Structure 1
Amino acid sequence: MPAVTITVANQKGGVGKTTVITNIAGVMAHKGHRVLVVDADPQCNATLFFTDPNETIPPSKTIAAIYGEKTDVNAELIIPTRFKTLDLIPGGFTLAGNVADVAQRFDAGRRLQGYLRKKKEGYDFIFIDCPPDIGIYTLNAFVASDFVIVPIQPERLALEGFSQLQEKIEMIQSFGEKIRLFGVITTMLDERTLSQRDWFTQIQTAFEDIHLGIFHRATLIAEATDAGKLVVDVDRKGRPYQELLRICQEICRRLDIKFDRGGVREK
């Protein structure tokens, strides 16, 4: 069965998008799923989580190669990580300067789809991390994906941007692509703040049927992120990990996929 491909996107920065996608991928791999993370964000933060920060990866070995003059669908871009069942297509810093050139190419919106098509049989999940915008790289991710998950911070501006994201998803659907909104995750929730509690209530009301779970603001998450580590690396008993477990379980439940496939799979 080919992989389920899920893009995690939000045009607003600072909502914990990369933290969510890398930690979900880590939990899924920890539970034995075969996972591929695609770092489509020119900031390359997901890549920093899974690789040695002192190691330089040439552009020809990153996702940037997909957006060259011609996509080589057989290019070897996938690299292993410390998890036995989690691989990575590294991000390319050069993507940021190539937006205009890529957008002008006749197959601009289908580059990533074409590359991943032959890779799906090797994985259970493919997670794509996007830049905080709805530009050419995010649209490529939408075209290549089955579903979109949207991390939403409990505040007014985060909610206001959601309708624009939904419009882009519907636009991609109008061209015959199968992508659809899978769910939202409330991120960086601080229930000590009345404003956040109020906005969280609105999120639950607005997205009742597709709300996948909560990822509270926590010192452990910030410290792990600063250290380039995942929650599964540092604490498997605390609330952050338990919340991630519930989110991953809910994703698998809605997809009718067995969640635990045999425990820890680390090198």
Structure 2
Amino acid sequence: MCKIIAIANQKGGVAKTTTTINLGVGLSKVGKRVMLIDADPQGHLTMGLGFPKNLRVTLKTMMENIIMGLEFDPREAILHHEEGIDVIPSNKLLSGMDMSLFTVEDREKVLKEYLELLENDYDYILIDCMPSLGMMTINALSAADSVLIPVQPQYYAADGLMELLKVVKGIHQRFNPDLQIEGILFTMDSSHYNNSKRNKQAVRDAYGAEIRIFDQTIPRTEALAETASEGVSIFSYYAKGKGAYSYQALVQEVLNHA
């Protein structure tokens, strides 16, 4: 059975894309069939895996086919990456999808309808969400079984979570009663700084009683920052470093939570 996880936070720069790529490749390395969905018009996941940004067939194409009720091959957009994962790419043209969806009946469920055509082929589908709470993110949450929330342990992290959690609760109540919170993941962590420790504790105090917080944190490392320009995961770029170790441990936590 396929599990769909949306990686979401309306704040940018919290390693959503890095986490999507490395969690996905990590799951593939232990034998899982994995698809990554680039649901961000910036196309960072697509480019971060070494694919060009001027592709003709993308997630936008597939969702437009669903909206217009066309017959189409749902696998036409799939790209195959050398590390064993499949990818549905995006580029800046996806930015018009929010406006297009506003005129569509059941507009919150277009992505869900598309993924239902693919999910039998995969054990995990990971959706890299855009840094906003617009219609594309609502589509991702409506399609997902759970949402994983990367959070940088900064001063306003606990407050910033509140808006996202309200949206998740609303999606759960209105469109997706099965939606769960996979957990909060601390990313870009400089754990030796007192500020980081204090800010992580503030999040735990505010949300830890109700929401799972991953034991594993993702460190801030040069190697993780450099992978995007290489088009590969941390496992290929620097398998013996702290970044690879941390994502390997995260994979195990996700598997244990399945």
Q: Indicate whether the TM-score tops 0.5.
A: yes
Is the deviation greater in 221-230 or in 165-174? 221-230
Quick check: 2:157–2:203 contact (8 Å CA) kept in 1?
A: no
Structure 1 pair 100/176, CA: closer, same or farther in 2 (3 Å)? closer
Equivalent residues of 1:71, 1:115 under 8 A apart: no
Q: What is the CA distance between 1:48 and its match in structure 2?
A: 1.1
- Structure 2 unaligned blocks of 5 or more: none
Q: 1:110, 1:143 within 8 Å by CA — same for their partners in 2?
A: yes
* Residue 240 (structure 1) aligned with residue 237 (structure 2): no
Instruction: Tell me the TM-score normalized by structure 1.
Output: 0.87
The ranges of structure 1 where at least 4 consecutive aligned residues each deviate by more than 3 angstroms after the TM superposition are: 71-75, 204-209
Q: Give the superposition deviation at 1:225.
A: 2.6
Query: 1 CA distance for matches of 2:69 and 2:10?
Result: 26
Shift of the 37–189 alpha-carbon distance from structure 1 to 2, 3 Å rule, reads same
Alignment of 1:118-197 (within 5 A): 118-177=117-176, 178-197=178-197
Structure 2 vs 1, CA of residues 157 and 100 (structure 1 numbering), >3 Å: closer, same or farther?
same
1:200 is aligned with what amino acid? K
**Match in the other structure for 1:42:** 41
Q: Contact conserved, 2:112 with 2:140, CA < 8 A, in 1?
A: yes
User: Partners in 2 of 1:228 and 1:157 — Cα distance?
Assistant: 32
Q: One-letter code of the match for 1:25?
A: G
> Contact between 1:71 and 1:111, CA under 8 Å: does it hold in 2?
no
In the TM superposition, what is the alpha-carbon distance from 1:83 to its structure 2 partner? 2.3
Match for 1:65 among 61, 86, 96?
61
Equivalent-residue separation in structure 2 for 1:93 and 1:71 (angstroms): 23
User: Cα offset for 1:180?
Assistant: 1.4
Quote the offset at 1:146 in angstroms: 0.2
Q: What's 1:81 paired with?
A: 81
Query: Partner of 2:203 in structure 1?
Result: 203
Which one-letter code corresponds to 1:197 in the other structure?
K
Partner Cα distance (1:71, 1:51) in 2: 32
Task: Tell me the CA shift for residue 205 of structure 1.
Answer: 3.6
> CA–CA distance in 1 between the matches of 2:122 and 2:230?
28
The one-character-per-residue Cα deviations of 1:9-41 (angstroms, maximum 9, x if unpaired) are 000001111111111111111222100000000
**In the alignment, which residue of structure 1 is the partner of 2:14?**
15
Check the 8 A contact 1:34/1:125 in 2, yes or no: yes
CA-atom RMSD in angstroms: 1.8
CA distance in 2, matches of 1:92, 1:167: 28
Query: What CA deviation, in whole Å up to 9, does each residue of 1:200-231 have, x standing for no partner?
Result: 22234444451122001011111223333321
The match for 2:54 among 48, 56, 61 is 56
SS in 1 for 2:130: coil
- Percent identical pairs in the alignment equals 27
The match for 2:94 is 95
Match of 1:223 among 212, 223, 226: 226
State the TM-score, normalized to the length of structure 2. Answer: 0.90
One-letter amino acid of the structure 2 residue matched with residue 190 of structure 1:
S
Please give the alpha-carbon distance, in whole angstroms, between the structure 1 residues aligned to 2:98 and 2:175: 24
8 A Cα contact 1:8 1:128, kept in partner: yes
**Which is worse superposed, 7-16 or 222-231?**
222-231
1:178-202 Cα distance to aligned partner (Å, 9 max, x none): 1111101000111343222210222
Listed one character per residue, the Cα deviations across residues 72-105 of structure 1 (whole Å, up to 9, x for unaligned) are 4633222211123x10111132011342222222
